[in-house]
Amino acid sequence: MRPQLEGTAATMRRTTLVTAMATGVALVLTACGGGGSSSSGSDSGEVTFWDTSGPNESPVFKKIAEACATKDGYKVKTETVAFDQALNNYKTAAQGGQGPDVFRSEVAWVPQLAKNGLVADLSDTDLAKDTSDFLEVPLGSTKYEGKSWGVPQVTDSLALLYNKKKLADAGVTPPKTWDELKAASAKLGGEKSFFLNNDAYYALPFIYGAGGDLVDAQAKKIVVNSAENVKALQTAKGLLDAKAASTALDPTNSYANMQAAFSSGDAAMVVNGPWAVADYLKGAAFTDASNLGIAPVPGDSAGKGSAPVGGHDYVIRQGTKAKQSSIKFIQCMSSADSQAQVAKELGLLPTRKSAYSNADVKANAVVSAFEPVAKSAHARPWIPEGGQLFDPLKIAYADVLAGKKEAKAALDEVAKAYKDTVVPEYSVG
């Protein structure tokens, strides 16, 4: 009889928990949805903003958001949402007619959200007027089927970040090609000198640098298993084999280990974006911020380095009760002044051309170092499936780096997964 009692107790505990959670969720949902009626004309005047930036950046966005709200006369509530959960949470909430009014969406998510009808079409609003000031590639991420769905918030790309002192001590200059990086590593103390993150996004510099791509959206072709890409992954694996780089072969720990290795000074070089800089500057190796060097990512040959464009866009949820306020909010958040403030305080790259001429922005070392990198960044296919391309590639890339599979075989599997589950209407090859 004992175990059954135990079982019941466990069930009861779980049931209570579920009830408590359900009540909690219900309360939150009521709180979010409160105020205003659903007709398009009215506006609740309360904007809930889901900020997906990390703990280093979020306070600054919050501050600017509150300044905007005070200036333009509406209320704003900034809620921070973990980046890796954000898309999922947003989709679930928006599908149920709940969620934020304004969402900070990664550039690759916008076409997908647009296709699923979860973000509002902004083509006829003020936000779609006068977009000539925005950089073209980030602006491209807000378009889907000829309509406008968002406003670029920040742009970014990957660059080679290096420890100036370590490189100077070893007498090497920042490598321009992967071969140079190999040679430099030998002088910098071998495999510890370059930390290679084994996440799919970080495979893109190798792939773009070798002239490859994942899909050709124009020709509707899957090109992920091209000869260029095979060579690209072999280059990455070659760095590990030549003891010129190290990686965390357990993918779940890879990013955290990279951050730890570089900010402690263990690793002399990493490839990462401007969002990581604030994190590094807290580390022991960069108590003097000027020790952080930023250079374009190496390529197969000098000057051929190429990194993906990244960044974030503001979107408005389809079904929001505060569309007018949200539009005003985004206008204010993405104004040249706000962007300059973000650039100055966080070193994130503005999406407006005019913001780059601001004196404070010019004086920011991180922004000025990343500016040429971001402006020449490799565009990504702005298709609804753009965000789904990484899941299969991530596993393949980790397998290749771990030596479990050959690059060609692994990429053939990715191509098959793309064809079967991501972009069935595309042809392989």
Partner 1 sequence: MRRFLERHWYAYAMVLPVVVVIAVLVLYPLAQGVFFTFTNINEANIANPVLDRPATYEGVGFKNYLNVLSGDASYGAFWGTLVRTLIWTFGCVFFHYTIGLGLALLLNRQVKGRTFYRVLLILPWAVPAFISAFAWKYMFNAQYGIINQFLRALGLPDPVWLGQSNWALLAVIVVNVWLGVPFQMVALLGGLQSIPGDLYEAAEVDGATPWQRFVHVTLPGLRSVSSTVILLGIIWTFNMFPVIYLIAGPNPNTRILVTYAFERFFSGASRDYAIASTYGVLILSVLLVFATVYRRALRSQGEVW
Separation of alpha carbons 132 and 1, rounded Å: 75
Minimum separation from the CB atom of position 255 to partner 1 (A) = 12
* Nearer CB in complex with partner 1: 259/341: 259
Indicate whether 390 belongs to the interface with partner 1 (CB under 8 A): yes
Q: Which stretch binds partner 1 (CB under 8 A): 149-157, 177-185, 307-315, 416-424?
A: 416-424
Minimum separation from the CB atom of position 405 to partner 1 (A) = 8
CB neighbourhood size of 45 (10 A): 16
Indicate whether 218 belongs to the interface with partner 1 (CB under 8 A): no
Q: Of these, 260, 379, 409, 428, which contacts partner 1 (CB under 8 A)?
A: 260
Indicate whether 114 belongs to the interface with partner 1 (CB under 8 A): no
Q: Of these, 138, 274, 308, 319, which contacts partner 1 (CB under 8 A)?
A: 319
Q: Which stretch binds partner 1 (CB under 8 A): 61-69, 74-82, 219-227, 392-400?
A: 392-400
* Neighbour-count burial for 128-145, b at 16+ CB within 10 Å, e otherwise: beeeeebbebbbebbbbe
Indicate whether 221 belongs to the interface with partner 1 (CB under 8 A): no
- 405 phi and psi, to 5 degrees? -135, 155
Output the DSSP codes for 212-264. --SEETTTTEE-TTSHHHHHHHHHHHHHHHTTS-B--SSGGGHHHHHHHHHHT
Indicate whether 249 belongs to the interface with partner 1 (CB under 8 A): yes
Q: How many binding residues for partner 1 (CB under 8 A)?
A: 50
Closest CA to 161 of 258, 238, 284: 258
Closest CA to 372 of 288, 291, 305: 305
Minimum separation from the CB atom of position 333 to partner 1 (A) = 25
Q: Which tokens hold the place of 325?
A: 């306020």
Q: Which stretch binds partner 1 (CB under 8 A): 39-47, 156-164, 251-259, 302-310?
A: 251-259
Distances from the Cα of 15 to the Cα of 3, 18, 23, 24, 74, angstroms: 18, 5, 12, 14, 40
Residues 64-103 that bind partner 1 (CB under 8 A): 87-88, 91, 95-97
Indicate whether 372 belongs to the interface with partner 1 (CB under 8 A): no
Indicate whether 425 belongs to the interface with partner 1 (CB under 8 A): no
Q: Which stretch binds partner 1 (CB under 8 A): 134-142, 167-175, 296-304, 395-403?
A: 395-403
* Nearer CB in complex with partner 1: 134/382: 382
Rounded to the nearest 5 percent, the helix, strand and coil shares of the chain are 55, 15, 30
Write the CB contacts of 295 (distance below 8 Å, at least 6 apart in sequence).
159, 160, 162, 174, 369
Q: Which stretch binds partner 1 (CB under 8 A): 161-169, 233-241, 321-329, 382-390?
A: 382-390
Indicate whether 404 belongs to the interface with partner 1 (CB under 8 A): yes
Indicate whether 6 belongs to the interface with partner 1 (CB under 8 A): yes
Indicate whether 422 belongs to the interface with partner 1 (CB under 8 A): yes
Contacts to partner 1 by CB under 8 A? 1-7, 10, 87-88, 91, 95-97, 109, 112, 115-118, 248-253, 256-257, 260, 318-319, 384-385, 387-388, 390-391, 394-395, 398-399, 402, 404, 413, 416-417, 419-422
